[in-house]
Amino acid sequence: MSSLRSSRYNFPVQGRDGRLAMFNAATGAIFRLEGRDAGALSTCLVDPAQRFSAEDFDDELLGRLRRGGFVIAADVDEVAIIRERYWRARGETPVVLTITTTMNCNLGCYYCYEERSGARLELADVDAIVELARRNVEASGKHSLHVDWYGGEPLLNLGLLEAASAALQTYCAEAGVSYVASIISNGTDWPGDVDGFVARHCIRQAQISFDGLSTNHNKRRRYRKGFGPGDSFARAVELVDRLVRCARVDLRFNIDRGNQGDLIPFISFARARGWFEAPYAAVLQPARLASYSGASAFMRGHELTLEEFDALRAAARAEIGDGERVEESEIPDGLPLPKTSVCAALATHSVVVGAEGRTYRCGLQVGEVARAVGTLSAAISPEGEAPDAGWWESFDPTLAPSCSRCSFLPVCWGGCPKKHLEGDQHAIQEQGRYWRNNLPRLIAAAAGIEGLCDPVIPPELQFR
């Protein structure tokens, strides 16, 4: 009786020496297939029409195939299992409150799509910010709050940051809620007492952006009129020298066609300054400058192709060695495990406060008032009826036309939901290309297989 079938999430890899391994994206299991029937078994395991019965395998092999999720009961709805996991993650992901202190910035990066308006949060908004935090923490049933300071350049509204941080920490201490913070900054306008600032505001992590070594960085990160002149590279370097002694620093390295040659020399530069061996070792985050929305469509001409970016990232990995870390901003390095968490935009109890007092799901939307989903105080009403609010609440990649049929779904969950909201098919297809081009390498590395016969997954295995 045929009561078993192959999982739709099986992916095979084969080394040129004939060794075979199978990866299951829904469980994260890897199985090295050995023996004379390995090739035939591999073929069956990626055939969605294949049906088996328990008698087709010996007990030990069947046990391993079932435990790894490679073979499942014929009537199991695998997409429904991923859906359940996704919705659980939306409710369980930690509470993050992202606070855009100001939309203003002292630098004018050519690729920045943000409107550098005069919008800024005021001290009078602090009570409403704390109230929003309280509501979200209580609704989550959790006992922790993570605040992410964001901008513009968040430190251009230092008074608000200081006051809101103190008030939020007071609320957390009284309510028995643990508190940590992070910050995304260009690193040019920090207070002199870096250690004291980090300690006072419980900053565990700071992302400081670089656009190359000095020449490229300063050309791209120029001071705007009224703020400069200055050497934005030297300022950021000086800050990182001090930050690595008290907080984790993510060195976000923004890459486009014009500064790609600086990445490897930047690693040498960071190593020479001891950033990778400091008490809080810095982490390199190569990021591909790309078009995020209609407002940044001009970036298409400057952006590297995914293949070019992957090659550069591989070179960075090789250069940086084992002792230091390269992290990928969108998709983690190493063997992808089935996802169990969502980005803050999908987390039920997380919210982004815009500098003008509206609330958003995604930080990249702040300032696009038509994308707001609510307001900080009842005095400000969202444009129209906040039409996106319901979309965010109900977005489910397991029901999206392409993702629901995609075998990368358990490790991808549709990638960035904002791209689905905007109907950005180019970005969604790029996400699929990323997995087709990279998953075989990641599986092979985890299975100890070198030299792949076929380093790219064909589209028919993605949609089977």
- Please report, as ranges, the residues that interact with ligand SF4 according to CB under 6 A: 343-345, 362-364, 402-403, 406, 408-409, 412, 414-418, 428, 431-432, 435
d(CA 179, CA 249): 19
Q: How far is the CB of 413 from ligand SF4 (least distance, A)?
A: 7
- Between CA 92 and CA 464 the distance in angstroms is 31
Q: Which pair of tokens denotes residue 25?
A: 């994206």
Question: What three-state secondary structure class fits 305?
Answer: coil
Shortest distance, position 83 Cβ to ligand SF4, whole Å = 13
- DSSP result, 168-209: HHHHHHHHT-EEEEEEEE-SSS--S-HHHHHHHTTEEEEEEE
Nearer to ligand SF4, 107 or 428 (CB): 428
Check residue 102 and report its DSSP letter: B
Angstrom distance (rounded) from CA 164 to CA 45: 55
Contact of 169 with 202, CB cutoff 8 Å: yes
Between 23 and 435, whose beta carbon lies closer to ligand SF4?
Answer: 435
Q: In angstroms, what is the minimal distance from the CB of 112 to ligand SF4?
A: 15
- In the bound state with ligand SF4, the residue whose beta carbon lies nearer, of 165 and 293, is 293
- To the nearest whole angstrom, how small is the minimum distance from the Cβ of residue 152 to ligand SF4? 17
Tell me if 236 sits within 8 A of 210, measured CB to CB: yes
* Cβ pair 269, 254 in contact under 8 A: no
CB of 417 to ligand SF4, least distance (A): 5
Least Cβ distance, residue 415 to ligand SF4 (angstroms): 4
Q: Which is nearer to ligand SF4, 212 or 414 (CB)?
A: 414
CA–CA distance, 202 with 152 (Å, rounded to integer): 21
User: Which residue, 155 or 427, is less far from ligand SF4 as judged by CB?
Assistant: 427
Amino acid identity for residue 72 in this structure: I
Residue placing its CB nearer to ligand SF4 in the complex, 23 or 276? 23
CA 45 to the chain's CA centroid: 31
Q: Which of 215, 222, 295 is nearest to 259 (CA)?
A: 215
Contact 74, 51 (CB under 8 A): yes
Nearer to ligand SF4, 240 or 345 (CB): 345
Please say which residue, 149 or 408, places its beta carbon nearer to ligand SF4. Answer: 408
Number of CB atoms found within 10 A of residue 404's CB: 15
Q: In the complex, what is the shortest distance from the CB of residue 414 to ligand SF4, in angstroms, rounded to a whole number?
A: 5
Write down the least CB distance from residue 289 to ligand SF4, Å: 14
154, 182 in Cβ contact below 8 A?
A: no
